[in-house]
Structure 1
């Protein structure tokens, strides 16, 4: 079956790209008439579910989730390590409704990017760190008040498996400012969907959801303390996943 994998990967990307274009056009027509929560459900929720289905059935990447019971009823900030594109699809299915911190260039992708903009993501210019933090604080607070989870990849970019996690503080600052919990998430998706290249490897991704961590204040010391707790939990969970 291994000799068929390159063909399966090509088919996967063809179907994923085609579906993004078709779905984007449909949502540009329908989404402007819907509430923000329904926009999320149609534009991001349903399409990401299809992407995960294609990933499983065409390239054999499955998953197991440990710790769903740790997800609180109150929305908050999800701090996840970033190894591949897979987790950007999958975590949409676990924390709903949700919006993401993304680079603004994604909104320029024809059709799907334009439709994505209607789902109200937090789009930032990564070349301007100070303005990015201000944008996250302002828009992130609005989205939390609207009942959306905020997904943040505090590493800022995809990192190879086995690399120690180092979190920036933007996500925990957002949580502390708005007095909402942080939920740490660790996974090993990069072992099956590599950061570099188009190849894929069949297998089972392990996703671990940690206990909700609540702010102890809004001052800089509280932000640093919460960030260290989340970072340490993810590093420990990744070590356990690798050991398996």
Structure 2
């Protein structure tokens, strides 16, 4: 989707959102640092996600971004691997309101970012150093199994980096390898968040983000590459818009 030059109204709303969203994050992070360490893991997730819910409320009322959620009934009550396509930071926020608690994979240096990183560290994410190749994969598998054994769903973006709207990137096999080794199902998620939150831009465009959740994809008796193919095909087939080849 190609965006027209944003109107003055969109720019003003986006700027106001940016200010309020970051201000709320700074203030809320202090509460998280003060209170979060004393809460059990699952209540801690719900408490810290108060900022996420605030961000989504601001997005809806200031940026006029509506959300259409399809397939939420497919989310299991047992540990699973969640593999969404990746277009912006929007899905990293919104999915925390749909799947809570959850654990995500983060670059370990993000945990040192003031305010944001402090709160993120309290969610006990899977910490990896992407520059270390095979060591990073081993760390993902080890920590991922630990989180699944704790009863936490694991959310991984298999494309690794954000893609342009209407584009599905190449998927890596780390997430499906974890799912196959742990014997848990995979949930695929397809969405068009980049239409409203384009990567590399502070402008937020009004519109509707559709997010579609697949039925559980079994990993029993399958290899990671096979599951990756199934996930990628489901995301492509259910993408809410036109895909460029």
TM-score in same-fold range (> 0.5): yes
Distance in structure 2 (CA, Å) of the matches to 1:93 and 1:107: 21
Q: Is the CA contact 1:76–1:150 (under 8 Å) kept in the aligned structure 2? A: yes
Q: Residues 200 and 115 from structure 1, CA distance in 2 versus in 1: closer, same or farther, beyond 3 angstroms?
A: closer
- Determine whether 1:40 maps to 2:45: yes
Name 1:230's counterpart in structure 2: 231
- Determine whether 1:19 maps to 2:20: no
Matches within 5 A, 1:62-141: 62-141=66-145
Distance in structure 2 (CA, Å) of the matches to 1:39 and 1:73: 19
Find the partner of 1:178 among 161, 182, 188. Answer: 182
Name 1:201's counterpart in structure 2: 205
Q: Which has the higher helix share?
A: 1
Distance in structure 1 (CA, Å) of the matches to 2:105 and 2:17: 26
**Cα RMSD (Å):** 1.6
Give the C-alpha shift of residue 40 in structure 1: 1.1
Distance in structure 2 (CA, Å) of the matches to 1:199 and 1:40: 29
- Summarize deviations over 1:162-207 as a string: whole Å, max 9, x none: 2233210011011111111100000000011101221111000010
Name 1:162's counterpart in structure 2: 166
- Summarize deviations over 1:204-242 as a string: whole Å, max 9, x none: 00101011011123xxx611111111111111112x533
- Determine whether 1:153 maps to 2:157: yes
- Summarize deviations over 1:78-120 as a string: whole Å, max 9, x none: 0000001110000111112111111222211113311221110
Distance in structure 1 (CA, Å) of the matches to 2:139 and 2:43: 24
Distance in structure 1 (CA, Å) of the matches to 2:156 and 2:53: 20
Give the C-alpha shift of residue 2 in structure 1: 3.8
User: What are structure 2's unaligned runs of at least 5 residues?
Assistant: 1-5
Task: Tell me the matched-pair count.
Answer: 238
SS of 2:223 mapped into structure 1:
helix
Q: Is the CA contact 1:62–1:205 (under 8 Å) kept in the aligned structure 2? A: yes
Q: Is the CA contact 1:154–1:171 (under 8 Å) kept in the aligned structure 2? A: yes
